[in-house]
A and B are shown apart, each in its own frame.
Chain A
Amino acid sequence: QQQVKQSPQSLIVQKGGISIINCAYENTAFDYFPWYQQFPGKGPALLIAIRPDVSEKKEGRFTISFNKSAKQFSLHIMDSQPGDSATYFCAASTEGYSTLTFGKGTMLLVSP
């Protein structure tokens, strides 16, 4: 059973637009929510992460929005650039002795 559901599978956005990727979870014990970015032929790398004690975290053009009651979190990429074209994975874990559970990924293409 997939514990973190990610949508959409793929996304095409024009340069300068806003890219939005959504994730939903069922396990209320999750308390750490990172996003990883993966360029073709490379391994994933941490992009930004949030804990549920805040509703939003912003780092440059990247923002995580978190809705604890709805058990949803999303990644917003403002002013999307062709260099943002990559696969994005959301993930979640519980405090303590835990591994990450990843979503299935979203392939983002930002058209010039």
Chain B
Amino acid sequence: NAGVTQTPKFQVLKTGQSMTLQCAQDMNHNSMYWYRQDPGMGLRLIYYSASEGTTDKGEVPNGYNVSRLNKREFSLRLESAAPSQTSVYFCASSERLAGGQMGDTQYFGPGTRLTVL
């Protein structure tokens, strides 16, 4: 099993350009997430999808859109990139949202390092 895969690994954009970050999981998980990680800011949730067909905003959704293409795939789109979106982006998945008897482990991908000039 590959777990959670993300493409691309690195990307450099100019201000105003658009791009889509791809994420796929092979664990048959229901829930998927997009986070951004910035120095000193920890992991901040951008969007999540509790189950196929649903998406919800997280803590920092402005400037992003998402698509839950199917159960396996969850993409993140930057329509008009800005330097403030320079960050490392992580996709994660879990069997279901956190909570329940013991919560649910989130499995993270290797990340996409994005630089917006």
Contacts and interface: CB of A to CB of B under 8 A. Distances in A.
B110 A99 contact: no
Contacts of B103: 32, 34, 49, 51, 93
Given A42-B110, A44-B90, A98 B42 contact: no
A86 to B, nearest CB: 13
A33 B100 CA distance: 12
A44 B105 CA distance: 11
Contacts of A73: none
A95 interface: yes
B110 A32 contact: no
A44 B43 contact: yes
Interface stretch (B11-19, B64-72, B91-99): B91-99
B40 A49 contact: no
A46 B103 CA distance: 12
B4 A43 contact: yes
B102 A32 contact: yes
B58 to A, nearest CB: 7
A102 interface: yes
A99 B111 contact: no
B106 interface: yes
Contacts of A99: 33, 45, 48, 58, 97-98
A46 B100 contact: no
B112 to A, nearest CB: 10
B42 A93 contact: no
B108 A44 contact: yes
A55 to B, nearest CB: 16
A66 to B, nearest CB: 14
A18 interface: no
A96 B102 contact: no
Interface in B43-59: 43-45, 48, 50, 58
Interface of A: 6, 9, 31-32, 34, 41-46, 49, 51, 89, 93-100, 102-105
Given A41-B110, A94-B99, A102-B44, 7 more contacts: A31-B99, A32-B102, A42-B110, A43-B108, A46-B106, A103-B42, A105-B42
